[in-house]
Amino acid sequence: MPKHSNLLSVSAWLKQAALLLLLLSSAAMAVEDVVKFSDESLRPRYQQLLEELRCPKCQNQNLADSNSAISQDLRAEVQRLLEQDLTDAEIKEYLKNRYSEFILYRPEVNRATWFLWAAPVVLVLMGGLIVLRLSRRKKPSGSEEADLPVRSTDQQQRLDQLLNSPKQGSE
C-alpha cells in the first residue's frame, strides 16, 4: 500500500511542477519592452511614431504591434533618434531613405503614389456615373410585346408547326 501512496504523491508533485512551469513561461512571454527615455515627454511621440511606421517584415503590422527582430531594432532606432532631438518628420525621412516609402503607413502624395491616393476617388465617381446612367436610361414605351424578339413569318409558322405537332413516342 505505501507504493501506491508514493505514486500518488509523485504524480501530484509532477502536476504541481508542470503547472508552475506553465505559469512561469506565460509570465515570461508577457514581458513587454520597457523603454527608458531621458525625458518622459518623448514617450507620446515614440508611441505615435511606432503606430505610424510599418514593420518591413510583417507588412500589415505597425512597429508597436510587431514582435519580429527587425521591428525590435527599429523601435530601438526610433528611440535613439528621438533622444538625438530629431523631429518626427526627420525620423520618418531617415527611415524612408533607409527602408523606402513602404515603411510609412500613410505615404506622401507624390509622383510615385498619386495613383494610390486617386484610385478610390476615381472608382467611386465611376460607380456613381454608372448608377446615374442606368437609372436615367429610358425604358421603351409600349406593351411587353415590345421586349419580345421580332420573328419573320416563316419563323413563326415553323414555331407553330413544332408546337402543334404530336410528340413522338408518347402513345
Mean pLDDT of the chain: 79
Domains of the chain: 23-103 (1.10.8.640)
Q: With beta carbons less than 8 A apart as the criterion, state whether 65 and 51 touch.
A: no
Asked if pLDDT for residue 2 goes beyond 80, the answer is no
Look at 10-24, 27-41, 80-94 and tell me which has the smallest mean pLDDT. 27-41
Q: Would you say the pTM of this structure is higher than 0.75?
A: no
Span 83-112, mean pLDDT?
Answer: 86
Segment 111-114 long-range contacts (CB within 8 Å, at least 24 positions apart)? none
Cell digits of residue 47: 508611441
Q: Residue 30 pLDDT > 50, yes or no?
A: no
Give yes or no for a contact between 75 and 50, defined as CB atoms under 8 angstroms apart: yes
Residue type (1 letter), 159: L
Q: Which of 31, 29, 82, 33 is nearest to 53 (CA)?
A: 82
Percent of the chain with pLDDT over 70: 79
Summarised one tens digit per residue, pLDDT across range 125-159 is 999 999 998 888 876 555 555 556 778 888 888 88
- For cell 498619386, the residue is 114
